[in-house]
Structure 1
Amino acid sequence: MSNEKLEYIKSKIGTFPDFPKKGIIFRDIFSALRDPIACSYLKELLVEQIKHKYPDAEIIIGLESRGFLFNLLIATELGIGCAPIRKKGKLPGELISVEYELEYGRDTFEIQANAIKNGQKVVIVDDLLATGGSLKAAIELVRKAGGTVIGSCVVLELEDLHGRDKIGCDCVVQSLIKY
Structure 2
Amino acid sequence: MTVRRVKAVGVLGMNLRSYIRDIADFPTPGILFRDITPLLSDASALKYAVDRMLELCEPLSSDVIVSVEARGFLLAAPLAYRMGKPLVPVRKQGKLPYKTHRVSYQLEYGTDTLEIHRDGIGEGQRALIVDDLLATGGTVGATAELIRECGAQVAGYAFLIELAELNGRQSLCGEEVVSLITYD
TM-score under structure 1 normalisation? Answer: 0.90
Give the deviation of 1:43 after TM superposition: 1.3
Q: Any conservation in 2 of the 1:6–1:177 contact (CA below 8 Å)?
A: no
Runs (4 or more) in structure 1 with deviation over 4 Å come to: none
Unaligned runs of 5+ in 2: 1-5
The code of the aligned residue for 1:43 comes to V
Deviation by residue 1:23-75 (Cα, 9 ceiling, x = unmatched): 43221111211111101101111111111x31x21100011111111222111
Instruction: Please give the alpha-carbon distance, in whole angstroms, between the structure 2 residues aligned to 1:157 and 1:123.
Output: 16
Provide the secondary structure at the position in 2 that maps to 1:67: helix
Partner of 2:121: 116
Give the deviation of 1:167 after TM superposition: 2.2
Instruction: Please give the alpha-carbon distance, in whole angstroms, between the structure 2 residues aligned to 1:90 and 1:25.
Output: 27
State how many pairs are aligned: 176
Which one has the bigger helix percentage? 1
Equivalent residue runs for 1:95-174 within 5 Å: 95-103=100-108, 105-169=110-174, 171-174=175-178
Partner of 1:67: 72
Relative to 1, partners in 2 of residues 1:60 and 1:6: Cα closer, same or farther, differing over 3 Å? farther
> Identity over aligned residues, as a percent?
40
Unaligned runs of 5+ in 1: none
TM-score under structure 2 normalisation? Answer: 0.88
Of the two structures, which has the highest relative contact order with CA contacts closer than 8 Å and spacing of 6 or more? 2
Give the deviation of 1:104 after TM superposition: 5.2
Partner of 2:21: 14
Relative to 1, partners in 2 of residues 1:174 and 1:6: Cα closer, same or farther, differing over 3 Å? farther
The code of the aligned residue for 1:161 comes to L
